[in-house]
Amino acid sequence: MIELQRIVLREIRLPLKEPFRISSGVVKDRRICLLELFDADGTVAWSECVAGENPNYSAETIDTAWLAITEWLAPRVLSKPIAHPADLPALFDKGICGHNMAKAAVEMGCWDLAARQRGVPLSEMLGGSRDRVATGISIGIQATPDALAQRARAAFDQGYRKIKVKIEPGADIDYVRAVRKELGPSVHMMADANSAYTLADAAHLVQLDAFNLIMIEQPLSRDDLLRHAELQKRLTTPICLDESITSVDRAEDMIALGAGRIINIKPGRVGGFTVSKGIHDVCQRSGIPVWCGGMLESGVGRAHNVALASLPNFSLPGDLSPSARYWERDVVTPEWTMDKEGMVHVPVDKPGIGVNVDMDFVDSITVRQEELRR
Ligand code: OSB
Ligand code: MG
C-alpha cells in the first residue's frame, strides 16, 4: 500500500559534455526535473521526468510537466492510498488528457517506492528476467560524414552493441554510407530521423535500404501511422516507431496497419511502466521486438530504464549509455558503467532503483524546488 505524504520536485541543471543535435532541435544543458517521494511508512523513492526544455520531441516541456504534476497529478496521489502503482494510469487519465511524461514521473516514482517497500529490485517488481542489458549509443548529427564515422568507430571500439545515428534531410545517405563503410557490413546500425521526412521523400529514403540497417526510427510525423504503413511497403529496412507510440492502443494500431515492425519504448513517452509493460506484452504476442529508448536521462532516469530493459521482449540493445557518455559527474552513486561487451549491469541485489542519489551534488545544482504535501 502506498500512502504518499509528500513529493519534493527539483529542477537541476546538468551540462552535457557536448551539445546533442537531432533533426528537431539541439540540447546543450539539460534542465531535469527530479521527484523525491515520501511514503507514510518512511520509504523514500526517486524518479525523473524526461520532458525537455523545448516542445520539439513532444508537446510537453519541463515547465508544462511541473505544472501538471503540481496542479493535477500530485493532488490525486497525495489524497488517497494506492494499492498498486499499476492502478495509477486509470487514476491519472480520467479527465486529464496527455501529459504522459508528467504522469510517468509520478507513476515510476511509485513503482520504485513499491519495490522498496517489498525489498525487491525494481527490475524484479516489473517482471524483468535479465541481470545485464545490451547497450547501444545514439550519436547526434555531426558536421560531416567523416566526423560521424569517427564517432561511430570510437563508440563501437568502446563496446556499444548498436550504433544509432541521427539523420535529417541533407545529413542522411552520405552520412550513413560513411558509417557503414567505417564499421564494416556486420555491425548493428540504425538511423533515427525524429520525424524529419514526409511520404514525398519515400524514393529518397529507399536509398537507405542499401546499408543493411537493422531499422530506421520515426522517419515521418508522429500522427502519420497510415503514411508510415505506406512507406514500410516501399522499404525493406524495418521501420521502428518512437514518437508515434504513446499508448497500448497505438502500438496495436501500428501492428494492425503494418506501420512499423519494431517499437522503441520510452516509459516517459507512454505515461510510465504500466503502459510500457502493456506495449511490451502486446508486441511479444505479435512477434514485434522492442528496445528501450533514452531521453538524455540522468542516473535516476537511467535506473528506471535499465530496470525496464531487463524484461524478456527487450531483445535489441537500448539507448542506455553509461553516465560518462553525457555527464562529467552524474547525480547517482555508483555511476552507471558499461562493460567491455557493451552491457550495463542491472542492480539485481538492491531494492528499488538500486543506486543512491548524491544529495550534496543534487543540492548544488538545484535551481528550483517545490514541496507538495498531503
Ligand atoms: O529520438 O530517441 C530519440 C534524445 C532526445 C530526444 C529524442 C531522442 C533522443 C536520443 C537519445 O536518441 C538517446 C539517449 O538518451 O542516449
Ligand atoms: Mg527516437
Ligand closest in space to the Cα of 162? 1
Going from the Cα of 86 to the center of ligand 2, the distance in angstroms, rounded, reads: 26
Whole-number Å distance between alpha carbons of 184 and 205: 21
Going from the Cα of 168 to the center of ligand 2, the distance in angstroms, rounded, reads: 12
Using most ligand atoms within 8 A of CB, pick from 22, 242, 298, 338 the residue to mutate for ligand 1.
Answer: 22
The amino acid occupying position 8 is V
Percent of residues, the chain, with pLDDT higher than 90: 99
Q: What would the pLDDT profile of 182-205 be if each residue is shown by its tens digit?
A: 999 999 999 999 999 999 999 999
The confidence score (pLDDT) of residue 79 equals 85
Catalytic residues: 166, 266
Going from the Cα of 293 to the center of ligand 1, the distance in angstroms, rounded, reads: 7
Q: What would the pLDDT profile of 92-119 be if each residue is shown by its tens digit?
A: 999 999 999 999 999 999 999 999 999 9
Using most ligand atoms within 8 A of CB, pick from 49, 61, 138 the residue to mutate for ligand 1.
Answer: 138
Whole-number Å distance between alpha carbons of 198 and 212: 22
**Cβ atoms of residues 314 and 132 within 8 Å:** no
Provide DSSP, 224-283. Answer: -HHHHHHHHHH-SSPEEESTT--SHHHHHHHHHHTS-SEEEE-HHHHTSHHHHHHHHHHH
**Cβ atoms of residues 374 and 4 within 8 Å:** yes
Contacts of 157 (CB under 8 A, 6+ apart): none
State how beta strands 356-357 and 332-333 pair. Answer: antiparallel
Residues of the chain with pLDDT under 70: none
Dihedral, 36, 29, 219, 96 alpha carbons, nearest 10: 30
Contacts of 126 (CB under 8 A, 6+ apart): 111, 273, 277, 307, 308, 310, 311
Ligand 1 atom, smallest distance to 293 CA: 2
Within 6 A (CB) of ligand 1 lie: 22, 57, 138, 192, 194, 242, 293-296, 319, 321
Q: Does the reported pTM lie above 0.95? A: yes
The conformation of residue 200, written as its DSSP 8-state character, comes to G
Q: Which of 26, 57, 344, 100 is nearest to 217 (CA)?
A: 57
Whole-number Å distance between alpha carbons of 172 and 162: 18
The conformation of residue 199, written as its DSSP 8-state character, comes to G
Q: List the residue whose alpha carbon is closest to atom 9 of ligand 1.
A: 295
CA atoms within 13 A on the CB side of 203: 1
Whole-number Å distance between alpha carbons of 75 and 374: 7
